[in-house]
Structure 1
Amino acid sequence: MTDTKRGITAEDLYQICYPSEPQLSPDGTKAVFVETKMDELRQYQSHIYLYSLEDNSKTALTSGPFRDSFPRWSPDGSKLCFVSNRSGKAQLWHLDVNETEFKQITNGPNGISSPVWSPDGRSIAFAAFLRTGQTLTEGTEELTEEATPKSITVDKMKYKSDDSGFVYEKNKQVAVVNIETGSVTQLTEGTYDHAVGSWSPDGKWLAITANRSVNPDIQHEIDIYLVPVEGGEWKKITNSDGTYAMPTFSKDGKKLAFIGSVADQHLYATMKKIWVAELDAGTVQCLTADWDVHVGDATIGDVRSPGHPNPGAVWTTDGQGMYVIASEKGSSGIYLVHLDGSVTKVVGGERNVYGFTFDNEKNSLVMAVSDSLTPGDLFHVDLNTETEKRLTDVNGELFQEIRLSTPEEIWYEGAEGWNIQGWILKPVGFQEGNTYPAILQIHGGPHSMYGHTFFHEFQLLAAQGYVVVYTNPRGSYGYGERFVQACCGDYGGNDYKDLMHAVDYVCQFDYVDETRLGVAGGSYGGFMTNWIIGQGNRFKAAVTDRSICNWISFYGVSDIGYYFSAEEIQANPFENPEKMWHHSPLRLVANMETPLLIMHGERDYRCPIEQAEQLYMTLRHRGKAPVSFIRFPGANHEMSRSGDPEQRVLRLQYTVDWFNQYV
């Protein structure tokens, strides 16, 4: 029988969709979720769907050319709130489940985020950016050319953000809106950023997080606070000794769980733990101090935007434990953390759980899951019977005509004898006896994790006839805290050797043509790509995305540069510039002879485009090997995952064309 399936294309990205943010109704019979896809105009749409667990039906609750997200059930299950840009800025909307009319609840000038219902269902807490003197009832800002300021005074170091743009005059505040009257009460103020956590069961307190230190530019601690909704004195739960987030009350209101880590020299390269505060006793305890696993989903993919709402620690009804997502060895699953510190794996497997919602009464959950061949779908798990049922197949029709390559897991010996995990994708249509070129892919972070999740770019390269190799060198999450911190101060050292050992390992296979190798990566992966081609000419071609080439200038231009450099390079320009220069690929330009494609977003504030400009200009001025520079106007650091759809497809096409030309 003839196989009529084809390999995946760059343009297939326009048709891939994924579900996220599942939320079970209070009675456990229904779930709402968000489905994101691109429309015929190649623009994103996110719509809210209702899934009945009783008759397995799926109904669209919202539609149109809008981005709807963050659906949340009212406590009695009769209503939903959600965030939508259907009136312009992202505002809070209200929907009666039995009706079809929407009601806009907020009209904040800069939009709102993160709604949380009060226990009595009368109010909703949310967060919103506000300029000094702005209120949440004055209507949205119109950003016209006439309204653009002629000058901007910058008086703080954290004045821009790759996520939120320029925030030099804005801070995130927490407020509560009455859904019947629309009246808004702002609970926080000042030049601090605040985030919503959860309501106490009696509705009197709101748990929030904030950095309210004397100098937030330098002091990065984030604390947990209890704020009285009716006014009064705040209660500070943590002691400004770490970064804590997502506080959730136990069912009896006597405990507060949250996720975080104690601050030391590592702000990024520290495993997130589960903490519990006994509110009456005033004590705080780390439950997972001895569990060397990162709490949270650290898995990198390229079809879902990062930053999905994390459910945090979800309490059991009896208050004796919490369900959380955690990441280890290329997988993320659901774990039950008991109050005695013991941990039980609830949902495992070689896959990426990126969201879930729990039904305490039925002891069941609905989760959002991706694996190596599935961008994302929803599954129902009955923990009583340990049975699992797939609820959606959102890409089934598309993938019926596409042949994908199934990754093969590898473990190999890296630098210093360390065991390193990775994967090999063979070319689509692979035939024994043939040889194929290979591409080494390097993830960003560096504190993230490749794993058992769908990666469109990798499948595209496999469809083009390449062997794709991707690994988790030291610095990656998933293998313990010593492993994740091992690259700090040693960028281009043993992490580089881990990657080169991966190349050595795969080149033993007779189907890999070791004379035709390529290398690619973004962010830290872009840094490492630059570093690799500065070491020699092993690779025929390289593609570097949103990369870093000069740590000295990065310090002053990145939105995180001045403190990221201190942790990751363990140097700064005024005390030890020699070390910063030592780790800078720009220093190695004289050795670079590999054809290099440089791609960068012009609105990237994480790794600003001046990094690409320096590398390109220096290579061209020295008359080195072929180099090309592609700029993406308006694109930020997340362009390859959540950027303009047409720019994402162009980037993939440029990548394939470069490797096809030179490898």
Structure 2
Amino acid sequence: MSEEKRALTAEDFTRLEVYSDPRFTPGGEAYTYISTAINDKNEYESHLFHQKVSESKSSQWTFGNVKNSSPRFSPDGKKVVFQSNRSSIPQLWMLNTNGGEAKQLTFFKNGAVSPVWSKDGNYIIFHASLNQDDNIENQKELSKEERQKEKKDKENEPLVVNRLKYKSDAKGFHDHKRSQLILLDVENENFTQLTSADADHSFQDISPDGNLILFSANLNEDADYELISDLFTMDLKTKKINKLTCSDGAYHHAGFSPSGKKIACFGHGFTHKGATLNELYIFDIKTGERSTISEQWDMQLGDLMIGDTRLGESENGPVWSEDEDSLFFLATDHGATGLYQVSLNSELKVLYKDDNHVFGFSYDAGTNSFILGISTPTNPCNFYQLKQDDKLIRLTNANADFLEEVHLSEPETLTFTAKDGWEIQGWLLRPYDFEEDKKYPFVLEIHGGPHAMYGQTFFHELQLLAAKGYVVLYTNPRGSHGYGQEFVDACRTDYGGGDYTDLMSAIDYTLENYSFIDETRLGVTGGSYGGFMTNWIVSHTNRFKAAVTQRSISNWISFYGVSDIGFFFTEWEHGLNLLDDPAKLWEFSPLKYAENVETPLLILHGELDFRCPIEQGEQLFITLKHLRKDVEFVRFPGANHELSRSGKPEMRIERLNHICRWFDEYL
């Protein structure tokens, strides 16, 4: 049969509006959000929108080929502060809500980000990147020409490295600047530097009475060797700092209760290294006592859903109810994320959970209602109001024209049994213009992490492969979040073991239960950990006729020293560091088994990937090519580990086209 709607294309993600960061305005009558899109210059731009909950249309408040984000209303609702790169680097700007042009508030040389108002509206606290000897009183924003000259000068200087954490995939090579907390007196327009330690500080909240700020940092001498993140309070009058935690874990998304007597936060003590589930903690400000609300739960707090179009931040930590009797938060469970409520005696209630992805929320105590950001496999995003009576009211109609025009495949949820009896969840997409009596080629997609989750959210790459005529299977093998602590921990020290057999069991189950799949035309692809697993699969079985490995790991011995996380991730995931037992790390390395590879393999890698550096792809390519295997290597200039999600649009399109080309050629 013929579809009324057309098939999805690689370029179609450039037509999408992606919503994020819903925020009720004071009084709860309206809310703001950020919409990110790709403009006619093929660049990302983000704008602030405002909408009354009683109306169906929103108003755009910012314009131009710029990125605006983090809008925060003053307590009286008359002003909104936000960050914008309209002056070439992110700075803070202010809008009057009754109209007028935005006013630039900061002119810091390295920018200013993440503004938050004090509860009385007199101050704004934000982050600024500073050197130890910088004076905030004489900050001057560089012109475009001055910035280009500074960049060129740096390119001609050697990089002196004396720290273990000297680079990251997000920032590239680090300098000596640190993220410090700055207070802006709004009326007098002067600045006060609140923190100055040689550490990155992350603002969390300000107390209702305005006397204390809450921030996280690692202020220990051995911070360069640790992944600890402690919580601290600072008295704004005396600048006295009080440490709330004991350097026993990582604490984040912290906030004061409405009375200021308690603090709630997420965190964990690395009991299962990087696979540890978050806990929900409550701190008593007066006594310093800490209690754990989530001890009896076995689910991941927060949003761990993986997608490739979620541009913009929406993640929420625990949010207090007005009466301080309960907290609201998102959690990740069985391929979906939902909104939950918990009382202080640990009574858990699901406020909203369906077969979809709640990517953000905002709570208004006055109306006791929520704004939910929701994505589904066939709808990238929309906002809804959730009222007291559990009634869900859609507020936006994002991407309506696109959705009317383009066919998207509705996933079928399946559950199969692994070799050791564990239940594994997955989803199957039928191809465009599907006919039951035809045979179709098949692609297995493997997510990265490995401690993340596929699920009920919009995923352009998966839909594209279905549009190109492939049956697409994506699963959550052991190691994935959403199925409890034992499950997410189960792949550690066993890469290529149970996780591999889970995926093979998924293939066996699918072929047995879906007669329209051509078992002679199977493909496999994945990125990061999914790239490692793709490499492992093609070096341990020849059942696949084509494979695409993306930003992958091929050699754990070299990964230890070249990745921005290798020095701790290797021990986290394999239970040992390089010098503990290099021979054992070699056993886990797909490169060791390169002679076994018979599957045509396409290797995709970003030149500036510091998470899984490009030498991982190079080693695999040279080895396979030297062995005269069928292999091709595509290197993406200027791209880091996030190429598939937030890379340059033209590079993202090229990547997708290469994936489709390879599968079309061999399947």
TM-score, scaled relative to structure 2? 0.97
2:300 is aligned to 294
Match 2:182 to one of 157, 175, 183:
175
Match 2:558 to one of 539, 542, 553:
553
Correspondence 1:19-98 to 2 at 5 A: 19-98=19-98
Measure the CA separation in 2 of the matches of 1:309 and 1:280.
31
1:12 is aligned to 12
Contact 1:312 1:324 in 2 (8 A): yes
Q: Say which is worse superposed, 452-461 or 175-184, in terms of deviation.
A: 175-184
Alignment pair present for 1:585 and 2:569:
no
2:360 is aligned to 355
Determine helix, strand or coil for the equivalent of 2:662: helix
Determine helix, strand or coil for the equivalent of 1:76: coil
Identity within the alignment, %: 44
CA offsets 1:117-165 (integer angstroms, 9 cap, x no match)? 1011111111122233234452235242135451221111111111122
1:113 is aligned to 113
Determine helix, strand or coil for the equivalent of 1:495: helix
CA offsets 1:444-502 (integer angstroms, 9 cap, x no match)? 00000000001111111111110000000000000001101100111111001101100
Match 1:470 to one of 462, 474, 493:
474
Measure the CA separation in 1 of the matches of 2:75 and 2:401.
36
Contact 1:61 1:100 in 2 (8 A): no
State the shift of 1:3 in Å: 4.2
Measure the CA separation in 2 of the matches of 1:321 and 1:516.
53
Match of 1:283, as an amino acid?
Answer: E
1:196 is aligned to 203
Determine helix, strand or coil for the equivalent of 2:568: helix
Determine helix, strand or coil for the equivalent of 1:470: strand
2:168 is aligned to 161
Determine helix, strand or coil for the equivalent of 2:583: helix
Match 2:649 to one of 615, 629, 645:
645
State the shift of 1:401 in Å: 1.0
Contact 1:49 1:59 in 2 (8 A): yes
1:275 is aligned to 281
Measure the CA separation in 2 of the matches of 1:226 and 1:343.
29
Match of 1:173, as an amino acid?
Answer: Q
TM-score, scaled relative to structure 1? 0.98
Match 1:414 to one of 411, 418, 422:
418
State the shift of 1:320 in Å: 1.0
CA offsets 1:30-65 (integer angstroms, 9 cap, x no match)? 111000000011110100001111333310000100
Correspondence 1:200-279 to 2 at 5 A: 200-264=207-271, 266-279=272-285
2:530 is aligned to 525
CA offsets 1:419-452 (integer angstroms, 9 cap, x no match)? 0000000111111111111100000000000000
Match of 2:321, as an amino acid?
Answer: T
Q: Say which is worse superposed, 501-510 or 210-219, in terms of deviation.
A: 210-219
Decide whether aligned partners of structure 1 residues 608 and 140 sit closer, same or farther in structure 2, where only a CA change above 3 A counts: farther
In the comparison of the two structures, how many residue pairs are matched? 659
Measure the CA separation in 1 of the matches of 2:189 and 2:539.
60
Structure 1 unaligned blocks of 5 or more? none
Alignment pair present for 1:424 and 2:425:
no
Structure 2 unaligned blocks of 5 or more? none
Match 2:511 to one of 500, 507, 514:
507
Determine helix, strand or coil for the equivalent of 2:35: strand
State the shift of 1:347 in Å: 1.0
Contact 1:154 1:168 in 2 (8 A): no
Measure the CA separation in 1 of the matches of 2:627 and 2:135.
55
Determine helix, strand or coil for the equivalent of 2:554: coil
Match of 1:165, as an amino acid?
Answer: G
Indicate the RMSD between aligned Cα atoms, in angstroms. Answer: 1.3
1:138 is aligned to 139
State the shift of 1:2 in Å: 6.8
Q: Say which is worse superposed, 105-114 or 156-165, in terms of deviation.
A: 105-114
Decide whether aligned partners of structure 1 residues 188 and 496 sit closer, same or farther in structure 2, where only a CA change above 3 A counts: same
1:622 is aligned to 627
State the shift of 1:309 in Å: 4.2
1:569 is aligned to 574
Q: Say which is worse superposed, 549-558 or 215-224, in terms of deviation.
A: 215-224
Match of 2:116, as an amino acid?
Answer: V
Match of 1:627, as an amino acid?
Answer: V
Contact 1:20 1:368 in 2 (8 A): yes
Determine helix, strand or coil for the equivalent of 1:157: coil
Determine helix, strand or coil for the equivalent of 1:116: strand
Match of 2:309, as an amino acid?
Answer: V
Alignment pair present for 1:326 and 2:331:
yes
Measure the CA separation in 2 of the matches of 1:250 and 1:162.
35
Measure the CA separation in 1 of the matches of 2:419 and 2:221.
43
Measure the CA separation in 2 of the matches of 1:454 and 1:545.
20
Match of 2:280, as an amino acid?
Answer: I
Contact 1:84 1:90 in 2 (8 A): yes
Q: Say which is worse superposed, 417-426 or 48-57, in terms of deviation.
A: 48-57
State the shift of 1:515 in Å: 0.7
CA offsets 1:309-340 (integer angstroms, 9 cap, x no match)? 42211100010111001000000011012100
State the shift of 1:103 in Å: 0.9
Contact 1:221 1:263 in 2 (8 A): no
Determine helix, strand or coil for the equivalent of 1:394: coil
Determine helix, strand or coil for the equivalent of 1:400: helix
State the shift of 1:263 in Å: 2.7
Match of 1:598, as an amino acid?
Answer: I
Contact 1:534 1:588 in 2 (8 A): yes
Measure the CA separation in 1 of the matches of 2:520 and 2:134.
62
Q: Say which is worse superposed, 192-201 or 161-170, in terms of deviation.
A: 161-170
